[in-house]
Amino acid sequence: MEKAAAAAIDDRNQGSFDMGADQATAGLQAENAALREELKAMTEKYETLERTADTISGRLDNSINELTAILEQ
């Protein structure tokens, strides 16, 4: 009888542990989703910055070449 009662208590405790694990998993999944969205936004900003830097670099190279040509005249 005591073994049956102990088994019932263990089963009940295991059930509450599983519910806690489910809540923890749900929390981690939500955090993961939020971090993925943040990473996506940061990646888009980085790509924009990279394109802008490439554009400015190209313009600067053109300006240097034009100045070099003017000075050589």
Please write the tens of the pLDDT for every residue from 32-42.
999 999 999 99
Question: Tell me, what DSSP letter sits at residue 1?
Answer: -
Quickly tell me which residue has 């400015």 as its tokens. 56
pTM of the model: 0.58
CA–CA distance, 33 with 41 (Å, rounded to integer): 12
First to last CA, the chain: 106
Residue 15 identity:
G
Quickly tell me which residue has 């600067």 as its tokens. 60
At 24, the pLDDT band (50, 70, 90 cuts) reads confident
Token pair for residue 71? 């000075």
